[in-house]
Amino acid sequence: KQEVTQIPAALSVPEGENLVLNCSFTDSAIYNLQWFRQDPGKGLTSLLLIQSSQREQTSGRLNASLDKSSGRSTLYIAASQPGDSATYLCAVPPGAGNKLTFGGGTRVLVKP
């Protein structure tokens, strides 16, 4: 059974600092890994999708790395802004199962 863990659970930084969010998973037989952002009371917005054959994906200030062998992914957000405050979730799609497995999320607060 796939288990996904995100550390830390919460993170507070001053504006301008770089953010490092960690995601680990127990079953390395994944198709891909997806990072989402969720604002309070809202749905999930996809940030980055990394295929299993890739080592990283970049979009603007966001960069996500994937190390399948060690079961880890890291989301880097450069030069954080107050608008980056949200909960960030990583998720892996099923290998043999049907359910997209989510980590518990990292709640980020960027203080102006």
51 binds other proteins per the rule CB under 8 A: yes
Q: Should residue 32 be labelled a site residue for other proteins when binding is judged by CB under 8 A? A: yes
The yes or no reply on residue 43 touching other proteins (CB under 8 A) is yes
Closer CB to other proteins, 54 or 65, in the complex: 54
Q: Is 58 in the site for other proteins (CB under 8 A)?
A: no
CA distances from 52 to 29, 41, 109 (A): 9, 31, 30
**83 belongs to the binding site for other proteins (CB under 8 A):** no
